[in-house]
């Protein structure tokens, strides 16, 4: 029986290749879902299922949603718990709904979002920020419009601004959220959550640039 032995130099270079690929392989299938009760529980499992079905590989979806939290609360707990430490490939942030409810100063909320983006950039390869959803209240939706606009004007370090959630939920006739997609004034129903998960999935899978957001370093 004839056998063969690998030359030591080949073994060495093979090991180097494995080590070089290991980080990319480890990080390629993870996503941090940051937000409030709209994100918490509902989005991570939906997103994980869609990504796994589309790619044929396993994904880790971190549930970094906290019900009732404002952008300031999320900023503080993110720093305390080091949400960037798992080094997710993607960080998806949609936060500000509770700031809207309490009529926070828009610039203050944008500042808290900037702090979150800065922290997640320490470990995440791609940071995606979604505009928050409209409310069934036209008055609250007016706040959301100002906030979303200010995010796009002032937020730095973002790889992609996602507008599709807002566009899908906003009803031009009522200047508020489309009631067909809402379970209550602020929260989507199952159909609405599916829309959000589909939108997040599309951004991750296609990495399409938003031509309306010139200042952003969009996906290449």
What are the structural domains, with CATH classification, of the chain? 30-206 (3.40.50.1110)
Residue 32: predicted pLDDT:
97
Letter string b/e over residues 169-184, b meaning 16 or more CB atoms within 10 A of that residue's CB: bbbeeeebbbeebbee
pTM of the model: 0.82
Mean pLDDT (whole number) for 118-123: 96
Q: Distance between CA atoms of 158 and 165, rounded to whole angstroms?
A: 17
Give the tokens for residue 53. 């079905």
The closest of 98, 167, 99, 159 to 131, measured between CA atoms, is 167
Residue 207: predicted pLDDT:
63
The closest of 142, 116, 119, 138 to 130, measured between CA atoms, is 116
Give the tokens for residue 149. 């606009």
In 82-163, where does DSSP find H-type helix?
Answer: 97-101, 106-120, 138-154
162 pairs with which residues across the strands? 130
Other CB atoms within 10 A of residue 79 CB: 13
> What 8-state DSSP symbol labels residue 27?
H
Q: What is the pLDDT of residues 29-51, one digit of tens each?
A: 899 999 999 999 999 999 999 99
Q: Distance between CA atoms of 217 and 165, rounded to whole angstroms?
A: 20
* Average pLDDT value over all residues in the chain: 86
Place of tokens 């939906």: 46
Backbone φ, ψ for residue 33 (5° rounding): -105, 105
Residue 28: predicted pLDDT:
55
Residue 98: predicted pLDDT:
98
């Amino acid at each position: 029986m004839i056998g063969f032995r690998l030359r030591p130099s080949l073994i060495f270079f093979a090991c180097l290749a494995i080590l070089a690929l290991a980080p990319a392989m480890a990080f390629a299938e993870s996503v941090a879902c940051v937000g409030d009760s709209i994100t918490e529980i509902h989005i991570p499992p939906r997103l994980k299922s869609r990504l796994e079905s589309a790619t044929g590989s396993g994904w880790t979806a971190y549930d970094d949603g906290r019900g009732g939290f404002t952008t300031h609360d999320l900023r503080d707990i993110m720093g305390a718990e080091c949400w960037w430490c798992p080094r997710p490939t993607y960080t998806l942030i949609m936060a500000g709904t509770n700031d809207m409810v309490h009529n926070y100063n828009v610039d203050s909320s944008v500042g808290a979002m900037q702090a979150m983006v800065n922290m997640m950039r320490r470990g995440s390869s791609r940071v995606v920020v979604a505009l928050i959803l409209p409310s069934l209240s036209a008055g609250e939706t007016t706040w959301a419009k100002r906030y979303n606009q200010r995010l796009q004007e002032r937020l730095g370090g973002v790889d992609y601004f996602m507008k599709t959630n807002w566009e899908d939920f906003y009803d031009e006739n009522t200047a508020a959220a489309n009631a067909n997609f809402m379970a209550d004034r602020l929260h989507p129903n199952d159909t609405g959550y599916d829309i959000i998960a589909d939108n997040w999935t599309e951004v991750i899978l296609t990495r399409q640039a938003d031509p309306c957001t010139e200042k952003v370093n969009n996906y290449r």
